[in-house]
Amino acid sequence: MTARLLGVVRVWGRGYIGRAAMDRFNVAEYFVDRHLEEGRGDDLAILCDEGQLTYRQIGELVNRAASALGELGVGKDDRVLIALPDSPAFVAAFWGAIKLGAIAVPVSTLLSGNECEFVLRDSGARCMVVHDSLMDKLAPALRKLEFGTEPQVCLVGQVKPGCESFNEALARSSARSEPSPTHRDAPAFWLYTSGSTGQPKAAIHRHSDMVCCLENFAKGILHISAKDRTFSASKLFFAYGLGNGLYFPFGVGAQTILLAERPTAEKVLEVISVHRPTIFYGVPSLYAAMLQVTGTSRFDLTSIRCAVSAGEALPAPLWERFRERFGISILDGIGSTEMLHMFISNRLGDFMPGSSGKIVPGYTAKIVDDQGREVRTGDVGNLWVKGESGAAGYWNRPELTRSTFRGEWVVTGDKYRCDERGFYWHCGRSDDMLKVHGMWVSPVEVESALLGHSEVAECAVVGAIDDDGLEKPKAFVVLRKPLRLSAELEAELRRFAADRLPKYKEPRWLVEIESLPKTTTGKLQRFKLRGARP
């Protein structure tokens, strides 16, 4: 059931109403205020390093955040950039901005300095809510902005000169805030995702999109309820993690476990053992790492009734090893930032290891050739999908919007085939993008980092498969003559890349090559490099 799919929605305290009455809809009311009106204010909502918070406490934090942002000059449709670890502060800033009628823009805490500068300029954010640990990276980007375009900076943690304390702003703001009279189809939040050129792009999502994903996937496939406790290793600033760890549990009055620190395999196993989630969300590389932890018998995973994977295809051998070790069948699926969450998924009692599963109810998919014609069952083609959670387009990217959003259809950029049973099988990307640890990696960005070294003449990056069947960046470098790739130079190049790239974007392999394969017109032929083994 979604507002736009069925034309009706249950509004708390007012029964079922028609579509016309839904013109006024603020999604923060649905996911936060509704619990107070329905008598769940004292129910536990969040478990985190800072303790436990009820839905009533979250409601007050959200109201204070909306009031504080308004006092700082944030108005309707202004962008509020959020760069925070998973925490109550993130939850307050996200729902508070939306309740105010502004646009919440969560961004990765792993962004490079150049990416930070681009996102600040592109978003035109009026205000930023940032953790103090990120200011060393953000400060240079802020200084590069033109005078008068600098956003108001609210810091979580230790306050620095020229910045506002977010905690102090919350403390002095009103605990009551009326929701802005927004529309179900009005923009509520943006999510940045990497592009093939290396420049991030913002998918514009509406107030009703989260309700759609909740109904179709969380309720329809996972059967989530108020009895569940969720834990997502994928962070809230990702589309996948935002659903897993925030609006899915908040949609049904369940509990969510928020982990601020990096989700190492051992830490994840420890959190599961201590806090006992019933639904766990990860990515294939994390599941592989969990299998590598020694002495896993000391960790208790028996609370998990449902484990979910997305971000990249989950290899069948990894699925089988995990089930053998922990007795858990992982439900793999595919979603995208453009569609907000999963639109194809395996499900309990109906799964096929190695596949992405079947189409999620509420969505439609088709596999087409390069001319847009549907292919025969079993043939490989380009995956297109449509559903009510699809983004309205990309901010400030008209050409890319036209190429990705074809009427109701979204071009995913993935190659797929569908068998006669309705299971979808991933066959690679249509472009050169890589999926590493469930996050997009542009080969252009990795190449640019390595090309900054004085001894690298040319460079090409492709995806290669490691021993767990997962994709990692593999860099082919042409060195300036007469150099050879010695162990010392390789170590130097790795340090050079590590200083310029987030950890997951660093090349797993460095391979020296005499020359890069190119067409007669000089265009790089990456496909000729993909077959070489690491």
Give the alpha-carbon dihedral of 137, 142, 144, 148, to 10 degrees: 180
pLDDT for the residue numbered 519: 56
Phi-psi region of 58 (alpha: psi -120 to 50; beta: other; left: phi over 0): alpha
Q: What mean pLDDT do residues 288-316 have? A: 92
Nearest CA to 441 out of 449, 99, 129 is that of 449
Considering the domain boundaries, does residue 312 fall inside one?
Answer: no
Q: Which residues make beta-bridge pairs with 333?
A: 345
Considering the domain boundaries, does residue 114 fall inside one?
Answer: yes
Which residues, at least 6 apart from 313, have a Cβ–Cβ distance to it below 8 Å? Answer: 284, 332, 334, 354, 356, 426
Q: Which domain holds residue 137?
A: 54-182
Considering the domain boundaries, does residue 161 fall inside one?
Answer: yes
Element (H, E) at 137: helix 135-143
CATH number at residue 487: 3.30.300.30
- State the Cα–Cα distance between residues 49 and 51, nearest whole angstrom: 5
Query: Which one of 148, 182, 216 terminates a domain?
Result: 182
Q: What is the pLDDT of residues 280-296, one digit of tens each?
A: 999 988 998 899 899 99
Q: What is the pLDDT of residues 189-203, one digit of tens each?
A: 999 997 555 578 999
The percentage of residues in the chain with a pLDDT greater than 90, rounded to a whole number, is 73
Considering the domain boundaries, does residue 494 fall inside one?
Answer: yes
CB 80 within 8 A of CB 104: yes
Considering the domain boundaries, does residue 176 fall inside one?
Answer: yes
Task: Tell me the three state secondary structure of residue 525.
Answer: coil
Model confidence band, residue 148 (pLDDT cutoffs 50, 70, 90): confident
Q: Has residue 108 got a pLDDT over 80?
A: yes
Pick the range with the lowest mean pLDDT from 90-94, 299-303, 356-360, 497-501.
497-501
pLDDT for the residue numbered 9: 42
Q: Which residues make beta-bridge pairs with 105?
A: 81
DSSP state of 373: P
Model confidence band, residue 22 (pLDDT cutoffs 50, 70, 90): low
Q: Mean pLDDT for the chain?
A: 90
Q: What mean pLDDT do residues 413-430 have? A: 90
Nearest CA to 383 out of 396, 392, 374 is that of 374
Number of domains in the chain: 2
Considering the domain boundaries, does residue 411 fall inside one?
Answer: no
Which residues, at least 6 apart from 148, have a Cβ–Cβ distance to it below 8 Å? Answer: none
pLDDT for the residue numbered 10: 38
Which of 86-100, 127-141, 302-316 has the highest average model confidence (pLDDT)? 86-100
Q: Kindly state the tokens that stand for 149.
A: 């375009």
The residue ranking higher by pLDDT, 190 or 315, is 190
Considering the domain boundaries, does residue 136 fall inside one?
Answer: yes
Query: Which one of 182, 207, 240 terminates a domain?
Result: 182
Q: Kindly state the tokens that stand for 321.
A: 């090893």
Q: Has residue 82 got a pLDDT over 60?
A: yes
How many helices (H) does the chain have, and how many strands (E)? 18, 28
Q: Indicate if the alpha-carbon torsion angle 118, 119, 120, 124 is positive or negative.
A: positive
Query: Which one of 182, 217, 250 terminates a domain?
Result: 182
pLDDT for the residue numbered 527: 76
- State the Cα–Cα distance between residues 214 and 82, nearest whole angstrom: 23
In angstroms, how far is CA 236 from the centroid of its own chain?
7
Q: Has residue 483 got a pLDDT over 80?
A: no
Model confidence band, residue 444 (pLDDT cutoffs 50, 70, 90): confident
CB 124 within 8 A of CB 149: yes
In angstroms, how far is CA 492 from the centroid of its own chain?
32
Omega within 30 of 0 (cis) for the link into 482: yes
Q: What mean pLDDT do residues 168-181 have? A: 96
CB 102 within 8 A of CB 134: no
- State the Cα–Cα distance between residues 24 and 22, nearest whole angstrom: 5
- State the Cα–Cα distance between residues 72 and 60, nearest whole angstrom: 18
CATH number at residue 97: 3.40.50.980
The percentage of residues in the chain with a pLDDT greater than 70, rounded to a whole number, is 93
Side chain identity at 309, as an amino acid letter? S
Element (H, E) at 444: helix 443-451
pLDDT for the residue numbered 521: 44
Pick the range with the lowest mean pLDDT from 30-39, 138-147, 209-218, 231-240.
138-147
Considering the domain boundaries, does residue 303 fall inside one?
Answer: no
Q: What mean pLDDT do residues 262-275 have? A: 96
In angstroms, how far is CA 519 from the centroid of its own chain?
36
Q: The whole model's pTM is what?
A: 0.84
Q: Has residue 31 got a pLDDT over 60?
A: yes
